[in-house]
Amino acid sequence: MLNLETTYMGIPIKNPIVAGASALSSDMKNLKRMEFSGVGAIVVKSLFEEEIELTRFKFEEEMEAFDHIHAEMTSVHPHIDYKGTKEHLYWLQKAKKKVHVPIIASLNAHNLETWVEYAQAIEKTGVDGLELNFYELPQNPDTTAEAIEQEKIEVLQKVKAAVNIPISVKLSPYYTNMANFVKRLDDAGADAVILFNRLFQPEIDIHEEEENISFDFSQSSDSLLSLRWTALLSPVFKGDIISSKGIIEGEDMIKMLLAGAQSVQVVSTLYKNGMQQIEVLTKELEEWMKAKGYQSLEDFRGNMAKDHMKDPWAYERSQYIKMLLSKENL
Ligand SMILES: Cc1cc2nc3c(=O)[nH]c(=O)nc-3n(C[C@H](O)[C@H](O)[C@H](O)COP(=O)(O)O)c2cc1C
């Protein structure tokens, strides 16, 4: 019997497959199917500050002002998806009661007070942990990278001080010095970092000459940036490294575990292949482990992380130069 047990933001889970935040988690049937398929944990879709604002002011037009900040909410789940904060908190409570795997909430706010207030409200629902979704596109050219990062660190510190549940941080890959920022998150007590969220990019419709947010799901090739940073950061980060983005097949997940991930988040593959993909991923992991003679994740986790590599620079500059200068690759 293989042992797939691992942790997710310090919480013991039976296998490394975690359903990431998405609208799939708004439906109890989906939650039950995920549980039935053996998911390790579930992250419920985010509560956005825009929803909180809407609850406060009840002005539908307010939505327009925030379009650039949460593209997926306004484009994929337009106004009808908005339910209100009470309903969201009630839903978390219900999910926690009905589904018997760890339930993690997700929050995306802007103001420090909102982060703290809603982290506390979310903790009261009984969920097992909270993911801070640091998703934003800075547009003010006078704001420095340092100021942006410092603000995020402060959010984490204040939330950690206000609640007792584990706190993870989901990042975009666009921080100037990822290693430094993640180290500071580590020092501020992050129980996990999720590498990475996916920013939806705006497109232009040349016929209508208007903005058009093109939406597509991830593919395996989208996972390589997360793979690189998982391998670089897993030997040094004290909490759990959770890899995300483009984990579609079992092989994508196995690479992340080899690079040192504690567990992985999947979303696109569940949309594309259904909740039963969790079983497929589990089976593919087990078959690979059997073929390699591994009994548990600890037997191979991190074998390809930076500190275990024969060539420790493989993820870094020398590979890049070798590739560009070698004629064999062309
Ligand atoms: C339809 C859809 C809805 C999403 N909603 C959320 C959300 O509410 N909160 C969040 O943090 N991420 C959200 N995401 C991002 C995913 O959680 C995930 O980080 C991203 O899709 C990358 O993983 P994947 O490559 O497995 O899809 C959403 C993604 C999709 C496709």
* 68 confidence band (pLDDT: 50, 70, 90): low
Q: Is residue 226 in contact with ligand 1, taking CB distance under 6 Å?
A: no
Ligand 1 atom with the shortest distance to the CA of 46: 8
Topology classification of domain 6-325: TIM Barrel (3.20.20)
Q: Which two tokens stand for residue 286?
A: 């087990």
The alpha carbon of 73 and the centre of ligand 1 are apart by a number of angstroms equal to 10
Indicate if the pLDDT at residue 75 is higher than 60: no
Q: Is residue 70 in contact with ligand 1, taking CB distance under 6 Å?
A: no
* Rounded-to-integer distance, Cα 129 and Cα 10, Å: 10
Ligand 1 atom with the shortest distance to the CA of 248: 26
What stretches of 163-311 show up as alpha helix (H) in DSSP? 178-187, 224-233, 250-258, 268-273, 277-292
* Rounded-to-integer distance, Cα 238 and Cα 187, Å: 9
* Rounded-to-integer distance, Cα 172 and Cα 135, Å: 7
* Rounded-to-integer distance, Cα 304 and Cα 256, Å: 9
Indicate if the pLDDT at residue 83 is higher than 80: no
SS3 171: strand
Q: How many CB atoms lie within 10 A of CB 87?
A: 12
Q: Which two tokens stand for residue 224?
A: 């390589």
Non-local (6+) Cβ contacts of 290 within 8 A are: 2
* Mean pLDDT within 21-35: 97
Q: Which of 119, 228, 214, 130 is nearest to 173 (CA)?
A: 228
Indicate if the pLDDT at residue 74 is higher than 50: no
The alpha carbon of 206 and the centre of ligand 1 are apart by a number of angstroms equal to 27
- DSSP strand pairing (11-13 vs 202-205): unpaired
- Domain borders along the chain are 6-325
The alpha carbon of 28 and the centre of ligand 1 are apart by a number of angstroms equal to 18
The alpha carbon of 59 and the centre of ligand 1 are apart by a number of angstroms equal to 26
pLDDT digits (tens, 9 = 90+) for 148-180: 999 999 999 999 999 999 999 999 999 999 999
The alpha carbon of 19 and the centre of ligand 1 are apart by a number of angstroms equal to 10
Across 68-191, the runs of DSSP E, i.e. the strands, are: 103-108, 129-133, 167-171
SS3 61: coil
* 76 confidence band (pLDDT: 50, 70, 90): very low
* Mean pLDDT within 297-311: 89
Q: Is residue 21 in contact with ligand 1, taking CB distance under 6 Å?
A: yes
- DSSP strand pairing (263-266 vs 240-243): parallel
Residue type, 212: N
pLDDT digits (tens, 9 = 90+) for 215-271: 789 999 999 999 999 999 999 999 999 999 999 999 999 999 999 999 999 999 999
Percentage of the chain with pLDDT > 90? 75
Q: Is residue 106 in contact with ligand 1, taking CB distance under 6 Å?
A: yes
Please name the residue whose Cα sits nearest to atom 29 of ligand 1: 22
Indicate if the pLDDT at residue 329 is higher than 50: yes
Percentage of the chain with pLDDT > 70? 87
